[in-house]
Amino acid sequence: MSIDSIAGPSEILVIADETANPRYVAADLLSQAEHDELASAILITTDEGVAEAVRKEIEVFLQELSRSEIIQKSLDNYGYILLADSMDDAVAAANAIASEHLEILTKDPYNVMTKIQNAGAIFLGEYSSEPLGDYYAGPNHILPTNGTARFFSPLSVDDFMKKTSIISYSEEALRRAHKDIELFAEKEGLTAHANSIKVRFSKR
């Protein structure tokens, strides 16, 4: 079965506005940067003050954390603080990046969440840090990375099941639909497709 996916390196993206606690944001970014040198930690904020405060908090944490060498290389390689003109721009960027983990630290995280289309797992509010999902809250921990959240979901039991489709129309049901089907087929230039339906309702 085809159940494999791109799993790693770890990624986190934080969307933050002026209400976000910079210390929390910095700590959460570093929680994923410590995985390895290829891990990605990205902040997208609408507030320049928050961006600068997060940068300073990161410097403080780097003096304290045991895996600071790995974290520093991760940040040098794939760490970004991006300033967005509006929350809509921040959301658009987040959807384009399609991060494995997405934290929303805004005044109304639930509203922002409704605009997110691409993310492996979403964490809402300042008390829903990503490690909560790793160790305690219990969401799926096998998440799409490397932008594949644009078209993949987290691993689930469905990925281990083989499915098929079963179609059964009565003559009456097909009679109601046959002209539409024939029109679709003819517009595609697939006359044999159209004929396969049409012969069932022709005189000959």
Question: Nearest CA to 74 among 27, 37, 26, 28?
Answer: 37
What is the tens place of the pLDDT at every residue in 96-140? 999 999 999 999 999 999 999 999 899 999 999 999 888 888 777
pLDDT at 1 (0 to 100): 43
What is the tens place of the pLDDT at every residue in 71-87? 999 999 999 999 999 99
The Cα–Cα gap between 192 and 115 comes to: 43
The whole-angstrom distance between residue 125's C-alpha and the CA centroid of its chain comes to 17
Continuous segment of H or E residues that includes residue 185: helix 171-187
Q: Which amino acid is at 137?
A: A
What is the tens place of the pLDDT at every residue in 158-169? 777 778 888 899
Residues in the chain: 204
Of 57, 101, 103, 182, the catalytic one is 101
The Cα–Cα gap between 99 and 116 comes to: 11
pLDDT at 137 (0 to 100): 82
| pLDDT higher than 60, residue 179 | yes
* 50 secondary structure, DSSP code: H
CB 150 within 8 A of CB 100: no
- 35 a catalytic residue: no
63 exposure class (CB count in 10 Å sphere: 0-12, 13-18, 19+): exposed
Mean pLDDT, range 39-52, rounded to an integer: 97
pLDDT at 153 (0 to 100): 75
Of 11, 100, 126, 130, the catalytic one is 100
| pLDDT higher than 70, residue 6 | no
* Residue 14 vs residues 64, 104, 150: alpha-carbon distances, Å: 22, 6, 17
Q: First vs last Cα of the chain: how many Å apart?
A: 45
- 101 a catalytic residue: yes
The Cα–Cα gap between 176 and 174 comes to: 5
195 exposure class (CB count in 10 Å sphere: 0-12, 13-18, 19+): middle
What are the structure tokens assigned to 168, written together? 């059964």
| pLDDT higher than 90, residue 152 | no
